[in-house]
Amino acid sequence: MFTFAIEGWRAWAAGIHDELEWREWAQAPFCPSMAEDSVPPLAFLPAMQRRRLNMMARMVFDCAWPLAQGRSAMPLVYASRYGETARDFELLLALARGEPLSPTSFGLSVHNAVAGQWSIIRHEMTESVAISAEGDGLEHAFLEAGMLLAQGRDEVLVVAVEERPPLAYCPWVDDVPFSHALAVRLKAGTACSLSLAPGGEAAAAPLLPGALQWLRHLLSGASSWRHQAAGREWTWALNP
């Protein structure tokens, strides 16, 4: 079992940004339309630093930047199940048309691209971890964070992010109803615990993506809940 203290969190989805909006959403979850304010503007960055940040990176920076601002170096654990699928699909389409690939886009078409951009723009020399797991990517990210804290890190930043995949992927991707990101800053403590046990089958189609389900539990004031993934059962507990 791993234990943590949650020092702060932020999340982003179209039209849902601050804590009050997320609390309202958590009481009656809905699927926001992308039309509202589709791209986080990141006004705190100079335009020259923003220009290569795609939707994934912008959602992560919007959530994580205020949590890291003014604090000493902290490792980043980046979790995304589908990662740069939207970017990669564009590259595949260009290849199919026989067009040369954009060097910028090609260079950023890897799973740790956002973690790398975070490191470059923040001058963050500490390590980062990029993971891609199934529906329980957030739990794996907390596990990773727990190990970093156990190694003596003061604080760890966990981010979980998914972008709504291109239409062509929709028959196979049923767990990203809308683009979203969650960032959580953790330190050593006992207020929150996470344990893992062997489990059965995962629920066929989860109602909400893992990170947002987690946020909903957190905001509901629940003291304990379970998350079932393929062969794994995670138990979360919050100790007041």
Partner 1 sequence: MSALEQEIKVLIIEALGLEDIAPEDIDRETALFGEGLGLDSVDALELGLALQKRYGLVMDPETRNMSQHFANVANLAEFVAAAARPA
> Are the C-beta atoms of residues 146 and 194 closer than 8 Å to each other?
yes
Looking at the Cβ atoms of 52 and 187, the one nearer to partner 1 is 52
Q: Which of residues 206-225 bind partner 1 (CB under 8 A)?
A: none
b/e per residue, 212-226, with b = 16+ CB within 10 A?
Answer: bbbbbbbbeeeeebe
Q: For partner 1, what does the binding mask look like between residues 66 and 105, x meaning CB under 8 A?
A: ---------------------------------xx-xxx-
Q: For partner 1, what does the binding mask look like between residues 107 and 136, x meaning CB under 8 A?
A: x-----------------------------
> Residue 122: phi, psi to the nearest 5?
-90, 0
Looking at the Cβ atoms of 104 and 195, the one nearer to partner 1 is 104
**Per-residue CA distances from 54 to 29, 58, 180 (Å):** 26, 6, 13
Q: Which of 20, 51, 70, 205 binds partner 1 (CB under 8 A)?
A: 51
The three-point CA angle 127-130-134 to 5° equals 150
The pair of three-digit structure tokens given for residue 154, joined into one six-digit string? 């003061």
Q: Which of 52, 111, 122, 187 binds partner 1 (CB under 8 A)?
A: 52
**50 lies in the site for partner 1, by CB under 8 A:** yes
The binding site for partner 1 (CB under 8 A) comprises 47-48, 50-52, 99-100, 102-104, 107
